[in-house]
Structure 1
């Protein structure tokens, strides 16, 4: 597995270090911590600033974003910055403990290269393990070490750790001796560690502790307020994580069974209404029915029948019948088979595509009971094997890559036993431990070990296992980045949330080299990213309301705006009182951003709110809170929905066919795949500036260290007597030998980011007599990283003077799928709505607009679609919002939003691409965005020069919010006249 620090993880750690700069680690005083937090909040914005009187710091991190890696990194930082040596990680379950152990093992070498320290881990499991805890963790106070405990290790008086031991020189218990060290604690998944017994013993430590969780309880959900979020220092909630491309998209498939009868989701006796679930064309819908209202919309057989009363679990109808709220369900065998068949189909659909990208696909099934997989007549196991073999035979008849066909050939062992599936259940970890002790191993034991502990082996194409079955043993603490299909064959327990279940497959996938497929890995291409990183969730139609309840769980665990509903709870999170909330909702409704839905008793978002928030009345209403609340409505770059219903077909917008014929030449001219190249670089000046910057960096030698420890019998403890570097790592010879390959790899790494740095330039730079070669001898890896940073920094200072673009004549920006034209260049009939924007305008667009409806993300975009302009010499033949046009820049890809085809009487054409910005003036555009615009201008300048038809001119311009389009076009036409 390849490990690398992510920016958001580093931000979390930086926030914590910032808070603790003035913290007294000897006193561990809550008032001192509160003062530190006050100082931190003065310069950092958090969704909530609920201060507690305790020693906790809270970190909200979505499942699958590397929470464990982050707090392990934090341990090393606290040791490095504040000389803290002793830590405890508390986890609620054995599976999480095993996951933490595995993470420590996998990251051991990575953290050593970063900190030149090893973290010694101790786990309490039996009487034997307590000896190591006493003799090393407790007595060796100089050792950087962590104790990993479940709550069950300390939450009872009779537990071993709560008793004294003869190896200790006092009568206090082992845990009291641990507490006396004042170890810094990390509580993983704190929502599962709220019990009084645990807190009674945990409070003995009375030292700084961190609560890392993806879920924190809300005030109204619990009686004890100390468990809610407080002293927050970092927030990466579910929606924020998705918006920043840190987790997979969720696509839910509902398999419709024969019984589609409407049923009650919930009833409200006080207000006399019920929320009912029903199906239309295989798609689940929900409807609110009030008392005395006809139920015919739910099903024609209820026509003329009214709701006469309702309580929490039952609706009473006028014909004497009742409709009950189903709390649980048991699937019939044929229903389970249908769900498995769908899951296997989805698996095969994506497996061949992922295989060619060196990504192994895994699938996870939640089943009713262990007997269904390991019993004498295990129906689910037998049915899976039968269905899988059938589907596999169908797949093998297709035209497959030979390598993938070879991969499928290892599905069976020499005795023709299927090897692709295995179960992991409660108790398997103990079974695995006993197998280790006995020295006996079998295929089942090896598979169990692999599922729980050997993530890298499970991800290898050499391992045929890729379908995993569990009742619910694989929960918090277990996930795998390459779970792409997750199927529910059983009802959830009351304690199991839908969000927890999908969390087993939310982590971004990795390829066969252990490289995570991040947004940057695919060059910030949204389509490429979500073509890979999505999780198929397969559920039965018996699981009524699954999507809505999952959506609510995601929203409830987040502080970010999501979906199409603006809730009062979200506005409460922003710090608004009841009066402000009511007035703001009404104001936004008056401005056309919200629409009140009586059925759901909620406000639907029908237009972008961010621009409307700039209304003067809203500024007055919000006062000092205005800027902070405005930020919460800022449009996001990621326009995809976190949760989608795969049963629904994507809404489509018709393309005007006659205009599409006119637009075709423009589209295929600008939609070119391009690579940044650097030309006419002033190499002498550039080389000198890079060398000056590089030589200013301190890159230290890597050493092999010697550490001597001795036992102090008087005090019954181990002390470090000697710590010294005994030898420097010698890279001089190997560096000289491997230099050509290192430079080639360095050049390739830059090319992957669409930046072409000539190898000759890198050689000239490396061989320059002023370059400090000792840095490369000290640490080649650190030196090359520093050199890369220096090159980028210095090169980009005057980048636009030397940048150019190399266009591929026969390849296109969205090569895999052109949303406007077929491969033989015919216009498509329609385009999916999400490719153009989020909101459909109620106004009909201009006659020369490419689409029949205006789909937009902002008010300025809507106004553009309505423009009907007349120019003196030119006519606007057709204009359109661009569905996907990516221009590579060093600052992520840039996507202009509108393009115009202008033509004069002589046949002269102008292709004009316009970027519309919702800023009041040009100086308001952020510096990073301004740089991307500069690159876009250079892109279209070079594109115009490369046009084979010289009767066509290409121009790019930015239109600011208050700038008239006619004025912009006149500037473009003036440029065209000057170019003649």
Structure 2
């Protein structure tokens, strides 16, 4: 499979915003003499020591002119204009996780080269993991960009043992990119800061001096993780001509001259990321004497509703957990091998699909996701694993004939819970791998009995429980999986082990291959730091088999699965392909270790915090001073009278309630492309709607409850063809 890439307007807009700041800069390329290490500068521009650097910004393009350009771009992009140039030629670009941040800054490099001839770029990243991912992005997009721009970027990862790459970076006239993780120039230890040393193997020169003379453009990927006080000072030694900062989560105190913003809310509104749904698990009324019962789901059909529950059962080898689909009058005591804890009224009295609950004769009432009784942490983890498998198989069956491979991702806290080694060094399953294989075999076995033989069942039969899961972890010298090794920055807990990421970053296309012989892996266990962890567009389920903490926020957890999926041709399944169906296909299910309410409100709070700069209500002040654009690109700055007219019209049309919140009628008309705006700005309706969409809404940011949809709709073609239906 070869991943395909599309030209998307928001990525082009982000690149254009950066380019337009320097409008008026002529297209220039400059060669110069490089110190060859002997102290003698070469004068023959055809020698191997001829260098190429970025031409400095011309004097005519002074700070006041650049500030004017910046403010115009900010007004166009509905961003508060900067009062001054903050940090001098430092620009900030905010892009939500999963929308193609790396693609965007690669495109920006090409555009800067196309307009101004600039060709030297350095990408600074916070960790080995992100560095490898960035390198992979340059690889897979190379042909795509070459087709558009007629040239390829030469890119490499900085390695202090391969310093000839530095000479090539300086002497090559094409677009050159050096990718470097911050530890390489800001670390301690025996190999520390070789970039600042005069090295014998580099002809007694300092690598940093050769790099600095190219006047590079610095691109900081995830600056909130890169830029500590010391790192900021160290980066000045690169002598950057311009610094561009890209992240979804910029720190409020570290934003310089924001030129483009695509935040979490806008990404969702524009259907650029997956829809998030949550499966929560709630422990309720748990006591040591109660019988264990877990309500997995309520199942609705034409017949009476049923419930799928788990409970303890006495077998020949002791107690085990079993899952059964039950109806009214089902007696747990009879079906558990007469366990005493189910003797007191554990007979199903009621199953209600309206609010997803089941009630027993003894008054115990459970809602889907509730668990009562003797529950330890291992049992909760087993429930999470089972729920992940169930969600995976449901999504996989729905997408099977669309040629989309489904992947699920587990994050765990200890590697030995997945893989252990005996005294001879031979691997065997840890507790989570063992739980996974047991639950997988049980669920698939039940599916085969209920669904019979079809193409999907034959696909499942071709993959064993053992072969369909894999772990991606750091490895030691013996090749054994080990817990992630913290890097020099203890706060970020990044890994310095390159081998831990080889399979993840270099075999992404293979993992997306649905052929069970070539690529049976569909479930991935990882110990990576969530903020920089495993990333693949076809992750549809994420399950964290560990306690959440303040160090790993919910937004970081879901971020690994937000990218829109691709099919077997490598084509992204976005709105251009699927239209309004994009969020029926692209759904990320989070299997939480807490209740839906708790997880959803926590995630909503974090997202609200991330978009804190958005307006909170619609009023006339929202429009005053804003720039509206018509279909021909003509601009109109809104005055107070026009703003009042726009607001009055919105109220009259029922789009705004008394609290300034957008109504259901607005969202309905928006979905049908039928929003009406005031006559004064009718030609700029799209700009007005963009402004309305910029207002924060709890409705947009609240993830859905995955358990609320317990009906699978199926079309009856005979009824669809009835004359009465067609007439209706």
Which bracket does the TM-score occupy, shorter chain normalised? 0.5 to 0.7
| C-alpha distance in structure 1 between counterparts of 2:174 and 2:651, whole Å | 61
Extract structure 1 runs of 4+ deviating beyond 6 A: 428-434, 445-448, 559-562, 570-575, 586-592, 609-616, 626-630, 824-828
Q: 1:26 aligned to 2:55?
A: yes
Q: 1:210 aligned to 2:253?
A: no
| C-alpha distance in structure 1 between counterparts of 2:173 and 2:552, whole Å | 42
Q: Is the 8 A contact 2:655 2:665 kept in 1?
A: no
| C-alpha distance in structure 2 between counterparts of 1:453 and 1:194, whole Å | 28
Q: 1:346 aligned to 2:391?
A: yes
Once the two structures are TM-superposed, the CA of residue 479 in structure 1 deviates from its matched residue by 1.5
| Structure 2 SS opposite 1:233 | strand
| C-alpha distance in structure 1 between counterparts of 2:688 and 2:140, whole Å | 41
Once the two structures are TM-superposed, the CA of residue 574 in structure 1 deviates from its matched residue by 10
| C-alpha distance in structure 2 between counterparts of 1:355 and 1:409, whole Å | 14
Q: Is the 8 A contact 1:252 1:643 kept in 2?
A: no
| C-alpha distance in structure 1 between counterparts of 2:245 and 2:283, whole Å | 43
Q: 1:356 aligned to 2:394?
A: no
Over 3 Å counting, the alpha-carbon distance change for 1:231 and 1:592 in structure 2 is closer
| Structure 2 SS opposite 1:354 | helix
Aligned pairs for 1:733-882 (under 5 A) are none
Over 3 Å counting, the alpha-carbon distance change for 1:72 and 1:628 in structure 2 is closer
Q: Match for residue 207 of structure 2?
A: 174
Aligned pairs for 1:148-187 (under 5 A) are 148-156=179-187, 158-166=192-200, 168=202, 171=205, 173-187=206-220
Aligned pairs for 1:495-894 (under 5 A) are 495-522=551-578, 524=579, 526=580, 528-541=581-594, 545-558=598-611, 566=617, 593-594=656-657, 631-633=690-692, 641=700, 643-646=702-705, 649=708
Q: 1:243 aligned to 2:273?
A: no
Q: Is the 8 A contact 2:475 2:500 kept in 1?
A: no
Q: Match for residue 252 of structure 1?
A: 278
Once the two structures are TM-superposed, the CA of residue 643 in structure 1 deviates from its matched residue by 4.0
| Structure 2 SS opposite 1:371 | helix
Q: Match for residue 47 of structure 1?
A: 79
Q: 1:418 aligned to 2:466?
A: yes
Q: Match for residue 546 of structure 2?
A: 490
| C-alpha distance in structure 1 between counterparts of 2:500 and 2:686, whole Å | 54
Q: Of 448, 461, 464, which aligns to 2:514?
A: 461
| C-alpha distance in structure 2 between counterparts of 1:9 and 1:477, whole Å | 23
Q: Match for residue 759 of structure 1?
A: none
Over 3 Å counting, the alpha-carbon distance change for 1:201 and 1:402 in structure 2 is same
Q: 1:81 aligned to 2:137?
A: no
Q: Of 376, 380, 383, which aligns to 1:335?
A: 380
Q: 1:36 aligned to 2:66?
A: yes
Q: 1:57 aligned to 2:91?
A: yes
Q: 1:136 aligned to 2:174?
A: no
Q: Match for residue 363 of structure 2?
A: none
Over 3 Å counting, the alpha-carbon distance change for 1:639 and 1:555 in structure 2 is closer
Q: Is the 8 A contact 1:47 1:573 kept in 2?
A: no
| C-alpha distance in structure 1 between counterparts of 2:167 and 2:481, whole Å | 24
Once the two structures are TM-superposed, the CA of residue 448 in structure 1 deviates from its matched residue by 6.4
| C-alpha distance in structure 2 between counterparts of 1:482 and 1:10, whole Å | 24
Q: Is the 8 A contact 1:257 1:540 kept in 2?
A: no
Question: Greater relative contact order (Cα 8 A, min sep 6): structure 1 or 2?
Answer: 2
| C-alpha distance in structure 2 between counterparts of 1:159 and 1:447, whole Å | 24
Q: Is the 8 A contact 1:189 1:211 kept in 2?
A: yes
Q: Of 443, 447, 452, which aligns to 1:391?
A: 443
Q: Structure 1, residues 451-486: CA drift from partner, whole Å, max 9, x if none?
A: 232111000012000101123335436421100111
Larger radius of gyration: 1
| C-alpha distance in structure 2 between counterparts of 1:573 and 1:155, whole Å | 46
Q: Of 371, 389, 394, which aligns to 2:416?
A: 371
Once the two structures are TM-superposed, the CA of residue 381 in structure 1 deviates from its matched residue by 1.2
Once the two structures are TM-superposed, the CA of residue 545 in structure 1 deviates from its matched residue by 2.6
Q: Is the 8 A contact 1:421 1:467 kept in 2?
A: yes
| C-alpha distance in structure 1 between counterparts of 2:66 and 2:480, whole Å | 46
Using the size of structure 2 for normalisation, the TM-score is 0.66
| C-alpha distance in structure 2 between counterparts of 1:247 and 1:350, whole Å | 17
Q: In structure 2, list runs of 5 or more residues that go unmatched.
A: 27-53, 288-296, 299-374, 422-428, 483-497, 627-643, 670-674
Q: Is the 8 A contact 1:594 1:604 kept in 2?
A: yes
| Structure 2 SS opposite 1:134 | helix
| Structure 2 SS opposite 1:251 | strand
| Structure 1 SS opposite 2:583 | helix
Once the two structures are TM-superposed, the CA of residue 11 in structure 1 deviates from its matched residue by 1.8
Over 3 Å counting, the alpha-carbon distance change for 1:595 and 1:429 in structure 2 is farther
Over 3 Å counting, the alpha-carbon distance change for 1:455 and 1:11 in structure 2 is same
Using the size of structure 1 for normalisation, the TM-score is 0.50
Query: Over the residues paired in the alignment, what is the CA RMSD in angstroms?
Result: 4.7
Q: 1:190 aligned to 2:243?
A: no
Q: Match for residue 405 of structure 1?
A: 457
Q: Structure 1, residues 612-662: CA drift from partner, whole Å, max 9, x if none?
A: 99899xx9xxxxxx99888522599x999454332564799xxxxxxxxxx
| C-alpha distance in structure 2 between counterparts of 1:344 and 1:450, whole Å | 23
| C-alpha distance in structure 2 between counterparts of 1:153 and 1:215, whole Å | 23
Q: Structure 1, residues 704-725: CA drift from partner, whole Å, max 9, x if none?
A: xxxxxxxxxxxxxxxxxxxxxx
| C-alpha distance in structure 1 between counterparts of 2:591 and 2:536, whole Å | 18
Q: Is the 8 A contact 2:655 2:662 kept in 1?
A: no
Once the two structures are TM-superposed, the CA of residue 406 in structure 1 deviates from its matched residue by 3.3
